[in-house]
A = this chain, B = another copy of it.
Amino acid sequence: MNSANDVNGERDVNQEHKAKMVRINEAADRKLAKATIEKGLVIVHTGAGKGKSTAAFGMAIRALGQGMKVGIVQFIKGAIPTGEAAFFAKLDLPVEMHTLGEGFTWKTQDRERDIATAEKGWQKAVELMRDPSFDMVILDELNIATKYDYVSITRVIEELKQKRQMLHVVLTGRNASPELIEIADLVSEMKVIKHPYGHGVKPQRGVEF
């Protein structure tokens, strides 16, 4: 092809790159043109890797930056102070954070208490999701509470099915239930490729908490 040759008849890598990028761009534009639905999304971050809650907090930042109001309920965490809690507490932002967990189930070692704690979290979650002032609600580690049946997945699915059309709901935690994945719009699985914990590295402040 002539346009891909330079004056010396050699292949012009820049020209070739351009031709390829034009094709990719056209395909991307066609795909985008077909995507016309506006809706609040049900987003799930699951898997054993790092980044599930962290990406939910990143999503809170993005939404806040777009002038939205964000609600957060933490179902498991709550035993140790975290950077994210400190961050949201010290700034005057349209974000409501409810840290209602008491730590991992193997720390509390009390199933009835875990159930009562999870129920309190779920009541708060329902309250925020039904409050029309919120644009995004993050239910951090709810997947763990439903996995242990501390909150029934049936109640969660019912509530999500009747949520306001434009409300975004982000649910995090390992072992997301198949019923949840079924009704979700966006599901990412965070996989562990490498973890420092196994190599003798302490959980680092500002990274792990």
Contacts of A184 in B (CB 8 A): 194
CB distance from A145 to the nearest CB of B (A): 14
Q: Please, how many angstroms separate the alpha-carbon atoms of A196 and B184 in the complex?
A: 9
**With A and B bound together, what is the CA distance between A54 and B44 in angstroms?**
13
Closest CB in chain B relative to A85 CB, distance in Å: 7
Given the complex, which residues of B lie within 8 Å of A62, measured CB to CB? 54, 57, 82-84, 87, 206-207, 209
Known: A51-B55, A54-B55, A207-B168. A111 touches B201 (CB 8 A): no
A46 to B63, CA, bound (A): 23
Is the C-beta of A68 less than 8 angstroms from some C-beta in chain B?
yes
A196 to B135, CA, bound (A): 18
Q: A52 — which chain B residues lie within 8 A by C-beta?
A: 51
Contacts of A194 in B (CB 8 A): 44, 181, 184-187
A-B pairs with lowest CB-CB distance, top 10: A65-B87, A65-B83, A54-B58, A62-B83, A57-B58, A58-B58, A187-B193, A51-B55, A65-B86, A63-B206
Please list 16 pairs of residues, one from A and one from B, whose beta carbons are closer than 8 Å in the complex, sorted by A's number. A35-B197, A37-B200, A41-B196, A43-B207, A50-B55, A58-B59, A58-B60, A62-B82, A63-B83, A63-B207, A65-B83, A135-B206, A168-B207, A187-B193, A187-B194, A189-B193
CB distance from A157 to the nearest CB of B (A): 16
Interfacial chain B residues near A136, Cβ < 8 Å: 206
Asked if B55 and A197 sit within 8 Å, CB to CB, the answer is no
CA distance A186 to B110 in the complex (A): 32
